[in-house]
């Protein structure tokens, strides 16, 4: 159904461009990426600064020139690192797409990393990290990933304090060296969706990206992380009014593993964002303990072995009760499994909501990009909901029992929380 709309061109370098016409009246959305990200940079902060500095100037254009150009064409454009890729994404009106594509190619090909701009960006970066340090959700997330993973794993997060130290030391020379060593035209993936003609986009990419350098470097590799003993940590931030709570467990599997889809549905039955998951039905709707409580499969992007995560937020006085309610629901679904009816309804919900998720050009471009970056066949865009619709209660229950092991669940909390909040 969707596959036939996607037109793809593979370039001799190995680069892949996917274009999907979408009736969006003048808007073009795109998500692209190239080898890079925090794994190659060996630091989350270094990767962030590298991405941010790309808009600070090229060998031909100053920062001012870039800013003026982007505003002259009304475009949005961001560069941001993921774990293993440098992502660029944005939107622009159709008549300006070539100008924007040309700028992106120039930025990737010859960024200048000006020292003066780096100095300013660092002072801004320190302020952003100060903001991160008081963000309870961010701090709980960082703490959980540090309990679950080890520093070489893509899902391990640098602490805010570590990021501050890294930021202080970054030099323009290091950024330039990293860029030259990492950026590889052969790893380019670009997904474009909207008011576009595929052949025109293919020829524009060929025209503007032809000088992007090739690299021989190897891809990042690491060991998968299996579940280990439960660990708990708290990050007290006294001035706050809300505690962010995260629980999680490693899976040791990636998205291509045959257990992934049944586990995904099981985790959605537990706590899909929205109102139909068990956690929202009980912890919020029946017990009124929180505004939101959801569960996810996290950190599976681009081939990484991910983890199960459960998130909620509580006022201090409801924390113990809220946490107990979440753990009770986890124990219940693992022990008894979801009912046959629950599995059937969630299968139907998932397949129907798939159409809803892909109903604008930006979401479509992102989905196609993700498939390509994960080296999956594009036909998976149609196969995925079909595979979900075939799931059985027995299969989903087995996956929950196999991966969601309550005794190995690690927990993190940040906010007005006591240091010994997990003691009980």
Partner 1 sequence: MGVAVQEKSFRFVRKVGGISEYTLKKNGLQILHKRESAAPVVAVCVTFHVGSRNEAKGHTGSTHILEHLLFKDSKNFNRANGNAITDYLEWFGAYLNATTWLDRTNYFELLPREHFEKALALEADRMRDSLFSDADLQSEMPVVRNEYERTRNNPFELLDEEVMAKAFIKHPYHIPTIGTKEDIEGSDEKKLREFYDTFYWPNNATLSVFGDVAWKEVAAAVVKYFGAIPRAPRAIPRMSVVEPVQKETQNITLTKPLGISIAMVGYKIPSATHRDYPALLMLGTILGGGFSSRLQKALVDRGLAAEISVSVPALHDPGLMVITAHIAEGATPKKVLETLEREIQAFKKEGPTKEELARAKERLLSQFAFERDGVFSEIRAVSESIAAGDWALGFKLESAITKMTLAPLKSVAKKYLNSSQKTVGTLTP
Instruction: Kindly tell me which of 287 and 382 has the beta carbon lying closer to partner 1.
Output: 287
Count Cβ neighbours within 10 Å for each residue of 35-63 and write b for 16 or more, e otherwise: bbbbbbbebbbbbbbbbbbbbbbbeebeb
Number of residues that bind partner 1 (CB under 8 A): 75
In the region spanning residues 273 to 302, those forming contacts with partner 1, defined by CB under 8 A, are 274-276, 280-281, 284-291
Cβ contact 44:163 at 8 Å: yes
Q: Which of 133, 230, 320, 327 binds partner 1 (CB under 8 A)?
A: 133
CB of residue 206 vs partner 1: minimum separation in angstroms?
26
Pairing of strands 85-93, 410-415: unpaired
Cβ contact 74:18 at 8 Å: no
In the region spanning residues 298 to 327, those forming contacts with partner 1, defined by CB under 8 A, are 313-315, 318
Query: With binding defined as CB under 8 A, does residue 345 bind partner 1?
Result: yes
Query: With binding defined as CB under 8 A, does residue 139 bind partner 1?
Result: no
* 293/322 Cα distance (integer angstroms): 10
In the region spanning residues 9 to 48, those forming contacts with partner 1, defined by CB under 8 A, are 22-27, 29
Which secondary-structure segment (H or E) carries 419?
A: none
Q: Which of 10, 14, 76, 181 binds partner 1 (CB under 8 A)?
A: 76
In the region spanning residues 225 to 264, those forming contacts with partner 1, defined by CB under 8 A, are 239-242
Per DSSP, the three-state class of 88 is strand
x-or-dash pattern for partner 1, window 174-213, by CB under 8 A?
A: --------------------x-------------------
CB of residue 302 vs partner 1: minimum separation in angstroms?
26
Instruction: Kindly tell me which of 206 and 383 has the beta carbon lying closer to partner 1.
Output: 383
Query: With binding defined as CB under 8 A, does residue 102 bind partner 1?
Result: no
Query: With binding defined as CB under 8 A, does residue 81 bind partner 1?
Result: no
Cβ contact 139:244 at 8 Å: yes
Q: Which stretch binds partner 1 (CB under 8 A): 211-219, 268-276, 295-303, 399-407?
A: 268-276
Instruction: Kindly tell me which of 352 and 394 has the beta carbon lying closer to partner 1.
Output: 352
Query: With binding defined as CB under 8 A, does residue 354 bind partner 1?
Result: yes
Q: Which stretch binds partner 1 (CB under 8 A): 72-80, 143-151, 175-183, 401-409?
A: 72-80
347-to-290, 399, 423 alpha-carbon distances in Å: 27, 15, 38
C-alpha closest to that of 157 among 307, 44, 299, 300: 44
Cβ contact 147:180 at 8 Å: no
- At residue 255, φ and ψ (nearest 5 deg) are -65, -25
Give 157: exposed, middle or buried? Use CB within 10 Å, 0-12, 13-18, 19+: buried
Q: Which of 119, 151, 213, 217 binds partner 1 (CB under 8 A)?
A: 119
Cβ contact 416:245 at 8 Å: no
C-alpha closest to that of 266 among 149, 322, 350: 350
């Amino acid at each position: 159904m969707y596959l036939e709309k996607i037109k793809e061109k593979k370039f001799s370098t190995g680069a892949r461009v996917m274009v999907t016409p979408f009736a969006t009246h003048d808007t073009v959305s795109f998500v692209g990426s190239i080898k890079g990200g925090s794994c190659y940079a060996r630091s989350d902060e270094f990767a962030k600064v590298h991405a941010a500095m790309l808009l600070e100037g090229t060998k031909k254009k100053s920062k001012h020139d870039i800013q003026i150009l982007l505003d002259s064409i009304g475009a949005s454009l961001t560069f941001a690192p993921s774990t293993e890729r440098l992502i660029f994404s944005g939107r622009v009106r159709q008549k300006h797409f070539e100008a924007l594509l040309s700028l992106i190619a120039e930025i990737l090909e010859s960024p200048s990393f000006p020292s003066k701009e780096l100095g300013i960006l660092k002072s801004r970066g320190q302020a952003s990290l100060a903001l991160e340090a008081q963000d309870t959700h961010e701090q709980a997330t960082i703490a959980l990933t540090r309990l679950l993973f080890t520093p070489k794993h893509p899902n391990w997060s640098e602490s805010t304090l570590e990021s501050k130290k890294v930021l202080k030391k970054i030099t323009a020379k290091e950024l330039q060296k990293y860029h030259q060593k990492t950026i590889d035209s052969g790893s380019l993936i670009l997904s474009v969706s909207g008011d576009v003609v595929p052949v025109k986009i293919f020829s524009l990419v060929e025209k503007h990206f032809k000088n992007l350098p090739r690299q021989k470097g190897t891809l990042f590799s690491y060991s998968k992380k299996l579940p280990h003993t439960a660990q708990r940590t708290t990050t007290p931030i006294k001035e706050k009014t809300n505690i962010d709570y995260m629980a999680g467990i490693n899976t040791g599997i990636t998205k291509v593993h045959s257990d992934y889809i049944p586990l995904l549905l099981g985790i959605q039955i537990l706590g899909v964002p929205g109102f139909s998951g068990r956690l929202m039905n009980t912890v919020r709707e029946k017990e009124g303990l929180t505004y939101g409580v959801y569960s996810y499969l996290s950190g599976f992007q681009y081939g990484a072995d991910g983890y199960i995560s459960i998130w909620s937020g509580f006022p201090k006085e409801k924390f113990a009760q809220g946490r107990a309610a979440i753990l009770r629901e986890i124990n219940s679904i693992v022990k008894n499994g979801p009912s046959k009816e629950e599995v059937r309804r969630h299968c139907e919900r998932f397949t129907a909501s798939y159409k809803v998720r892909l109903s604008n050009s930006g979401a479509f471009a992102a989905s196609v990009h993700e498939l390509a970056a994960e080296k999956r066949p594009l036909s998976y865009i149609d196969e995925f909901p079909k595979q979900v619709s075939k799931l059985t209660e027995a299969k989903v229950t087995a996956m929950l029992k196999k991966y969601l092991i309550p005794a190995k669940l690690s927990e993190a909390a940040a906010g007005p929380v006591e240091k010994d909040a997990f003691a009980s």
